Amino acid sequence: MKKPARRSTATRLLVGAIGKTEKVRDDLTDAARDLSDTNALLSGPLSAAQAVAAVAGAVKQNLAAEVKVQEAAEELATVKSMLEDAQVANAEEPATGKGGEGVASILPHLQSARDC
């Protein structure tokens, strides 16, 4: 039985970067939804009493969205570092002699790596 191929360092870094990127996308989507909800509430007609409560709630929601965006920016910095490390690892790893047929030959490999 053929032994499963060991993932290269570059591949592991790229798969990790993909996962982090997906998390960043989700976090930014949540932050955008929070901001949209806040803006919708504040743009509607409000009485003076409602306005005070709405502004207080909006400030809390905007602060939470700001934290999500800051965390996403930090995650993107990590992704950038992972991509740079993958580029270095790829350059340092010896060639396997398994030449492909262009992009079509690598797509199934990348898909299976992502699914692992």
Q: Are 10 and 86 in contact (CB under 8 A)?
A: yes
In this structure, is residue 56 part of a structural domain?
Answer: yes
pLDDT of 7: 75
In this structure, is residue 3 part of a structural domain?
Answer: no
pLDDT digits (tens, 9 = 90+) for 57-95: 999 999 999 999 999 999 999 999 999 999 998 888 766
pLDDT band at 99 (very low <50, low <70, confident <90, very high): low
In this structure, is residue 33 part of a structural domain?
Answer: yes
Number of domains in the chain: 1
Kindly provide the b/e burial profile for residues 75-114, where b requires at least 16 CB atoms within 10 angstroms of the residue's own CB.
beeebeebbebbeebeeeeeeeeeeeeeeeeeeeeeeebe
In this structure, is residue 2 part of a structural domain?
Answer: no
In this structure, is residue 47 part of a structural domain?
Answer: yes
Residue 92 structural domain = 9-115
In this structure, is residue 96 part of a structural domain?
Answer: yes
pLDDT of 93: 73
In this structure, is residue 14 part of a structural domain?
Answer: yes
